[in-house]
A = this chain, B = another copy of it.
Amino acid sequence: MPSMGKPLACLAGVRVLDLSQFEAGPSCTEALAWLGAEVVKVENPKGGDPGRAILAGPGASFYFLIFNANKKSLAVDLKSPAGKQLVLDLAAKADVFVENFAPGAIERLGFGYEAISKLNPGIVYAQVKGFGAGSPYEDNLAFDMIAQATGGVMSISGEPDGRPIKPGPTLGDTGTGMLLAISILGALFERTGTGKGQRVEVAMQDAMLHYIRLAFAAQALRGGPVQRAGAESVSGANPPCGIYPCKGGGPNDYVYVYTSRTNPEHWKRLLAVLGHEELIGDPRFATPEARHAREEEVNALVSAWTREHDKHEAMRRLGAAGIPAGAVLDTKELAEEPTFRERGILQVMDDPTVKDYCMPAWPVRHNGAPPAVTAAPLLGQHTTDVLGSWLGLSEGELEGLERQNVVRSSRQAR
């Protein structure tokens, strides 16, 4: 299956020195890579990004591949003085520097903001930490789930009478990475005018607040804490607004049906689809407030109809009538929906060891198509390429560095 689109040239010529690992940093730099930046992932020669060990099948890690498309890999021993010097030399040539090590680690390596910005005042120096400087937890480790716990996300997710739930999406990681990418791009744009770099930092806990602003708005109006609302919106809504059971009875045989308070037509259209035209205008259901007071009756009307249809048919009929409705699609159904591939939203990564890995690409279309996905790098695949093109090292110098185990190149990786 050929991928649609071409590589983008939005960030052509922008050099990103990427010392990040796992997901929060890599999702950020991958977005920059999809926009056309040259992203060089700096990895230790022994195993590389620890993400290379997660969800690993024969040949490669599905986790690593999905978060590191379109990047280059340079394997260098950061513990050797010669390796450290190489990274400093690369930082002097880079436009962007990204890291998400545990608190204090980047400074101990000698690559802290002071050191790097002195060397290269034009650099955009970007960091992800779990907690912000000044937070009581600034020295703590964090992973996706810790950010979702401490950033309020879990407290508003789950059934009203159940325990908090960790949402399936990795909002703590990718959600944070996206905000950092926005700030890096803003800083790069500013630099086109001023030539000056800047430091941008995001904490995963802080980033979560950005995604639950609806809950903060609800709390400002009604007091808090905001409670879990199951399938409904934490802002409160009038029924029908929820997940209704469909024919089939499987774990995802449901359809979401919503009628907006700001558009009274939704409810009338819905009654027509349900075959209850006689209720259009009936004062028992005519206003959002009335439907709220008769929530059980409203839900019974809707689910009596949804139970008679499978979720796809329900979505088709409700959607065609102009009612916001959506089938609860599972990951297998999404992977098998052909229009995602036709549109380039899912693309096959052409990795030398993992075949036919169909992964979500950058979903924004630029002039009609998402950017093309190219394979994530093998460990050290671009060591020679990058040290040659960024630093002008000769073949002989490169061989010397390899012999001393300062760097590892693709010749060794395969």
Main secondary structure of the interface of A (DSSP, over half): mixed
Is A394's beta carbon under 8 Å from chain B? no
Is A283's beta carbon under 8 Å from chain B? no
Which chain B residues border A139 with CB–CB below 8 Å? 319-320
The contact sample of 19 A-B pairs, CB cut-off 8 A, is A9-B190, A56-B221, A63-B214, A140-B325, A143-B260, A146-B256, A151-B334, A155-B168, A156-B169, A156-B331, A165-B167, A166-B232, A167-B167, A167-B169, A175-B178, A182-B182, A198-B367, A202-B365, A225-B330
Q: Which residue of B lies closest to A208 (CB)?
A: B169
CB-based contact B154/A328 at 8 Å: yes
Q: How far is the CB of A312 from chain B (nearest CB, A)?
A: 9
Is A181's beta carbon under 8 Å from chain B? yes
What bracket does the count of chain A residues touching chain B fall in? 35 or more
CB-based contact A134/B343 at 8 Å: yes
Give the CA-CA distance A165 to B160 in the complex, in Å.
11
Is A57's beta carbon under 8 Å from chain B? yes
Is A401's beta carbon under 8 Å from chain B? no
Say which residue of B152, B174, B211 sits within 8 Å of A174 (CB atoms).
Answer: B211
Which chain B residues border A157 with CB–CB below 8 Å? 157, 165, 167-169
Give the CA-CA distance A358 to B213 in the complex, in Å.
11
Give the CA-CA distance A63 to B219 in the complex, in Å.
11
Within 8 A of B (CB), among A189-245: 189-190, 192-193, 198-203, 205-221, 224-235, 241, 243
CB-based contact A364/B178 at 8 Å: no
Q: How far is the CB of A290 from chain B (nearest CB, A)?
A: 18
CB-based contact A171/B171 at 8 Å: yes
Is A5's beta carbon under 8 Å from chain B? no
CB-based contact B192/A169 at 8 Å: no
**8 further A-B pairs in the complex, CB-CB below 8 A; given A55-B217, A132-B339, A146-B324:** A140-B324, A145-B324, A149-B326, A159-B165, A169-B208, A169-B211, A174-B211, A225-B333
CB-based contact A166/B243 at 8 Å: yes
Is A186's beta carbon under 8 Å from chain B? yes
CB-based contact B168/A229 at 8 Å: yes
Say which residue of B23, B342, B345, B366 sits within 8 Å of A183 (CB atoms).
Answer: B366
Is A188's beta carbon under 8 Å from chain B? yes
Which chain B residues border A169 with CB–CB below 8 Å? 153, 156-157, 167, 171, 175, 208, 211-212
CB-based contact A327/B224 at 8 Å: no
CB-based contact B153/A53 at 8 Å: no
> Assuming the A-B contacts A167-B169, A211-B170, A213-B360, are A221 and B11 also in contact, with contact meaning beta carbons closer than 8 angstroms in the complex?
no
Within 8 A of B (CB), among A257-283: 258, 260-262
Is A10's beta carbon under 8 Å from chain B? yes
CB-based contact A141/B324 at 8 Å: yes
Give the CA-CA distance A214 to B144 in the complex, in Å.
11
CB-based contact B135/A226 at 8 Å: no
CB-based contact A168/B343 at 8 Å: no
Which chain B residues border A97 with CB–CB below 8 Å? none
Q: Which 10 A-B pairs have the closest CB atoms?
A: A156-B168, A167-B167, A10-B186, A225-B330, A185-B185, A149-B326, A224-B332, A146-B326, A209-B360, A225-B332
